[in-house]
């Protein structure tokens, strides 16, 4: 039992902080779980990942989880997404044009030696 007024107040404030922290930790777990589920089901999970990362950043900013903890969780989420996207072929995006056909045939470096050799002759 608390002996002083300040220790009684400290108990009350700690209880308020515990409840708030529990709410944010629960929200982080939920968002991360939803993002992982969307990654594994093959749905468009970019929005869920963005929301989970934002929630992790907010929790780290409020001091509920450590910033390195948030960074590690975000990194793991991104790695899971990249791993899953590498195994599943993406058919939505069209193929990009190759740049080989758009290159110029002559360059400045090939034009200069020809000019020097004609000047000497």
**Structural domains in the chain?**
5-90 (1.20.58.110)
Instruction: Summarize pLDDT for 5-61 with one digit per residue, the tens.
Output: 999 999 999 999 999 999 999 999 999 999 999 999 888 888 999 999 999 999 999
Instruction: Summarize pLDDT for 27-39 with one digit per residue, the tens.
Output: 999 999 999 999 9
Q: Could you please report the per-residue DSSP string of 45-93?
A: -HHHHHHHHHHHHHHHHTTSS-HHHHHHHHHHHHHHHHHHHHHSPP-SS
**pTM for this one?**
0.64
């Amino acid at each position: 039992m608390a002996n002083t007024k300040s220790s009684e107040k400290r108990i009350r404030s700690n209880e308020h902080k515990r409840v708030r922290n529990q709410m944010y930790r629960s929200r982080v777990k939920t968002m991360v779980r939803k993002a992982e589920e969307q990654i594994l089901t093959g749905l468009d999970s970019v929005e869920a990942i963005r929301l989970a990362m934002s929630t992790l950043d907010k929790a780290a900013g409020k001091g509920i989880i450590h910033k390195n903890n948030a960074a590690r969780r975000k990194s793991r989420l991104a790695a899971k997404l990249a791993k899953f996207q590498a195994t599943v072929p993406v058919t939505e995006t069209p193929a990009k044009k190759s740049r080989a056909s758009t290159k110029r045939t002559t360059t400045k470096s090939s034009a200069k030696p020809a000019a020097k050799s004609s000047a000497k002759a």
